[in-house]
Structures are given as structure tokens and as C-alpha cells.
Amino acid sequence: MKQVVLEKYHCMGNDYLVFDPNKNDLELNVENIKKMCSRHFGIGADGILAGPYLGENDFYVHIYNADGSEAEKSGNGMGIFAKYLRDAGYVQKTTISWKTLGGEETVFYLNEDATRVKISMGHPTFWSDEIPVTGERREMVNQTMVFGKIPYVTTCLSMGNPHCVIWMNEISKEMVCRIGEHSETSEYFPEKVNTQILNVLDRTNIQIEIYERGVGYTLASGSCACAAASAAYRLGLADPHMYVHMPGGTLEVEIKEDGMVYMVGEVGYVGHIQLGNELSEQLRIK
């Protein structure tokens, strides 16, 4: 039996395992993804990046949350995967693109060892049917929603994945967890939602706490940072070039005139992991 091998990376404490199907014969499923991501019975991670799945002219990457569900997009994940592609010798170019569930992703390498990357995150949309949010088609800007019997003024949007941003004067881990436990699975959001509570420090600095769909409380998230920045800009609270401060670290986000959002982040390599025979065998049990 071939042992399972993985690479572990993090971006501001938002950690992922890279599962390369070209180096493993394991078929991923919900149960073995959850087991590998378990911080008590597995390795521990916020998710798994599976790829590259090579096509004739392009390749595909699957982004899995810790609960085994597949995500459309992950800013930090894409930065991490870009570094893996450079580390593993798949690419030497300064720009790389691939496909995910949420569409095509493009990453620009900003230094030689690929620890600093710029990621094209796409155009945000605030239209309810594109996020999606239930009810009639409307722009989800300054909309009141009720989570846990408490009303909040929210701004919802999609960065290729759904987000709910709540502007507050004071934010905390306890607050975002209290809201997120209700908002993630609320009937407003048929595909669930990532929740960010937002504190605006000044025109170029915002602070957020995150409760991520399929993961829970998260130290940092690229797509969540870009969603919060886009919401702050749309609400007139911030300039188009800002820094997003999270418990795990700070991301630089820029919103271009055409609405395209870019983020710049740092990627750290944790190490190579070869699972033992016992766990490798458990992962193969269906």
C-alpha cells in the first residue's frame, strides 16, 4: 500500500494541506478529508487543496473545507497552491492560471521563492440572486437580517463564494462566532455563507473577524478579506487601496476602477508530511 504524502502551508495562520493526485493513489471523499483536517485525529488544517488535475491545455484545483465540502474560491488557498506549484517544479513562469469550482484563478509571483503573491480575486457582485440570497432580486447593501433573533444591518456579496459583512464599532472572536453559528446555515443563504464582522479603523485600514462556511472561526481568509474590503468601499467607508487586519495577519487589497479586486499576501511553508501506514489505511476505508 502506498503511503499518503502531503505538503502543509499557511497564509497568516490560515493553513491548508496540499494533496497532489499525481503523487498519491488515494481517492478523496468527505470522510477522509475530515479525518486529515482533524486537529486531534489527523494532521490538522482549515482545508485541503487537491491538484493539479492536469488537462490538455490547462489544469484544475479542488478546494475542500475542513468539513469535506468543496469551496468555490479561497484567496489564501490560491496563494498557497501557487507556491506549491513553484516548489514542486510545475511552473517557472511569473504568472499562473488554473480553474476551480468558482472559475479561473490567476496568481502573480512577486518574488523568486514565491512567498509573496498577488492574486486576482474577480469582480464582486452585490445582487441577491448571484450571491445567492433568498427573496426578490435586490442589491444586498445595508439590508437588515436577523440571526439568532437579533437584527443586523448587513452587506452581502459574492467573490465567487458568498459573504455576509456586518459593520460594527467593536468586534471580537466571541461576537463573530455568536453570529456565525446562526448566519452560516440561515435560510437566507441556500448555499450557506462566510460571515465577517467589520471595524473601520481609517480610510486605508479595516479590521475583521471571520466565521467561515464549513470551517468555523478562522484566523485569516483571503476571500473574506476581499469581501470585507469590497463592502467597506461600496459603503463609502474606505479607499480602494486598503489593508485588512485579521488575527492571523494583514492582507493588502486593491480595488481597480473596473471593479476587479486584487490581494497581496505572504505564504509560509510548514513541511512535507508522509502519513503512517495505519492512518493511510484508514483513509482508504469507505
Please name which of 160, 130, 133 lies closest in space to residue 263, comparing C-alpha atoms: 160
Binding-site sequence positions for substrate: 14, 65, 75-76, 161, 194, 212-213, 222-223
Grid cell for residue 27 = 481517492
Statement: residue 36 has pLDDT above 90? yes
Binding-site sequence positions: 14, 65, 75-76, 161, 194, 212-213, 222-223
- What does the chain come to in residues? 286
Instruction: Express as a percent the part of the chain with pLDDT over 70.
Output: 100
Give the 3-state secondary structure of residue 76: helix
All structural domains of the chain: 5-122+268-283 (3.10.310.10), 128-257 (3.10.310.10)
- For 99-157, what is each residue's pLDDT tens digit? 999 888 899 999 999 999 999 999 999 999 999 999 999 999 999 999 999 999 999 99
- For 174-230, what is each residue's pLDDT tens digit? 999 999 999 999 999 999 999 999 999 999 999 999 999 999 999 999 999 999 999
Confidence bin at 286 (pLDDT 50/70/90): confident
The whole-angstrom separation of Cα 269 and Cα 199 is: 30
Q: Give the CA-trace dihedral at 271, 272, 278, 281, to 10 degrees.
A: 130
Instruction: Express as a percent the part of the chain with pLDDT over 90.
Output: 94
> What is residue 202's predicted lDDT score, i.e. its pLDDT?
98
Statement: residue 277 has pLDDT above 70? yes
Statement: residue 1 has pLDDT above 80? no
Give the chain's mean pLDDT: 95
Angle (CA) 256-127-103 rounded to 5° is: 65
Statement: residue 244 has pLDDT above 80? yes
**What does residue 177 show for φ and ψ, rounded to 5 degrees?**
-70, -40
Please name which of 108, 55, 57 lies closest in space to residue 85, comparing C-alpha atoms: 108
> What is residue 19's predicted lDDT score, i.e. its pLDDT?
98
